[in-house]
Amino acid sequence: MKVEEFVYDLYKSGIETIAGIPDSTLNQFCNYIENEGNNLFKTHIVTENEGGAVGIAIGEYLATGKTACVYMQNSGLGNIVNPVTSLAHHDVYGIPILFLIGWRGEPGIKDEPQHKFMGKITIGMLELLEINYSIIDYKTPQEELNDIFKKAKESFSRNEQFAIVIKPGTFDTKKLCAYKNEHELTREDAIRQIVRWMQEEDLTVSTTGKISRELYEQMDSVKGNHKQVFLTVGGMGHAKMIAYGIAQRRKRKRIICLDGDGAVLMHMGGLAMIGRHPLNNLVHICLDNEAHESVGGMPTGAAGMDYCKIAQDSGYPYVYEVSTKADLLKTLGEVRNRKKLSFIHIKVAIESRENLVRPKESPEENKRAFMSMME
């Protein structure tokens, strides 16, 4: 299916505002909307999380009477449950919304462990939320797509939501726009320096996506194993609170959270909670490439944000801005000696190796290995 034709159908349906969180399944769609969407749509916003996109869709309808489009990976369905059930549902305000949902973990299709359960319950969740839906893939003919948009409009006329569930490989592959920033330090090199700095009793919680994959590789390369790390393979945005939960129970150990800018944005309220109840054994590191690189590299929409100022105003007593390897090594040395709650903001390039490995072990095996390091 040609993505430009799908987007034009979206435009013809009366959509003027699009908001959401990038997804690898929707990579071609997201790339096209980001680079060509201004010719068709009034607004495209990469939001902090999927629930925020629903909020924008509600605001769009209240302001104009028009339906907005919200896109996401199916893993983000959990973030829309509250605003859909308590606001948008036809039993409450009755706000029509078009959802585009990338379907990871479809039953019978091999995928990563974190997508398996969500993939199994995706359709059931839509039915439970009383969201009408259709499923498309690369074989969906134009006539069927026309019927789907017709069904969507019928749902909108009843002030209901409609979802188009999109299977991987639906859109024709085209060369994507190569997003870049001006930073020279690579994320993988920054992670390598952090791994070398880690001591035997330190524990690290890493965020979703390529940060965890790079940490996994570097731990095996530098330390010979990865028992000291918990890979937060799903639940984007929650790594810092997992790290906090460990740190408040294991105060003799240094707990490091290896976060990403997109993940920090997704649940930024955690910064205020951590700053308000500081733990001296917690080090929060944000690797910031200004993009959702793990799902195609689209900008987060928050490039240039002063994360150190936000962390400081949230109550973190020590904050550090880093953009070079030398700065990073100096900062890590200071943090080791100080032993206070610290926030390190590292500006990194948008770059990763194509041959980056995925964990060989099951999540259960990695969990047991990590828990063995608690004593």
d(CA 324, CA 348): 9
d(CA 307, CA 279): 19
d(CA 292, CA 188): 16
Whether 254 shows a pLDDT value over 90: the answer reads yes
Q: Residue 348: which of 204, 199, 210 has the closest Cα? A: 210
d(CA 361, CA 363): 7
Query: pLDDT tens digits for 184-231?
Result: 999 999 999 999 999 999 999 999 999 999 999 999 999 999 999 999
Same domain, 216 and 338: yes
Same domain, 11 and 123: yes
Same domain, 119 and 81: yes
Same domain, 152 and 265: no
Q: 350 and 297 in contact (C-beta within 8 Å)?
A: yes
Residue whose tokens read 């828990």: 371
In which domain, by residue range, is 316 found?
Answer: 187-371
pLDDT of residue 174: 74
> What is the number of structural domains in the chain?
2
Domain membership of residue 174 (yes or no) is: no
* pTM score, whole prediction: 0.93
Whether 160 shows a pLDDT value over 70: the answer reads yes
pLDDT of residue 181: 81
Query: pLDDT tens digits for 332-354?
Result: 999 998 889 999 999 999 888 88
Whether 301 shows a pLDDT value over 80: the answer reads no
Residue 165: count other Cβ atoms within 10 Å of its Cβ: 21
Same domain, 116 and 207: no
Same domain, 256 and 153: no
pLDDT of residue 297: 67
Look up the CATH number of the domain holding residue 71.
3.40.50.970
Whether 296 shows a pLDDT value over 70: the answer reads no
Same domain, 16 and 47: yes
Same domain, 200 and 151: no
Residue 375's pLDDT band (cuts 50, 70, 90): confident
Same domain, 80 and 157: yes
d(CA 345, CA 32): 31
Q: 172 and 2 in contact (C-beta within 8 Å)?
A: yes
Average pLDDT over residues 91-113: 97
Domain membership of residue 173 (yes or no) is: no
Whether 163 shows a pLDDT value over 90: the answer reads yes
Average pLDDT over residues 228-239: 96
Same domain, 213 and 317: yes
Classify strands 203-206 and 68-73 as parallel, antiparallel or unpaired: unpaired
Domain membership of residue 177 (yes or no) is: no
* Portion of the chain with pLDDT greater than 70, in percent: 98
Domain membership of residue 176 (yes or no) is: no
Highest mean pLDDT among 23-32, 89-98, 177-186: 89-98
pLDDT of residue 182: 83
Q: What are the residue ranges of helices labelled H in 198-292?
A: 210-222, 239-247, 261-266, 269-276
The arrangement of strands across the sheet holding 132-136 comes to 43-46, 17-20, 68-73, 97-102, 162-166, 132-136
Q: 133 and 162 in contact (C-beta within 8 Å)?
A: yes
Same domain, 126 and 216: no
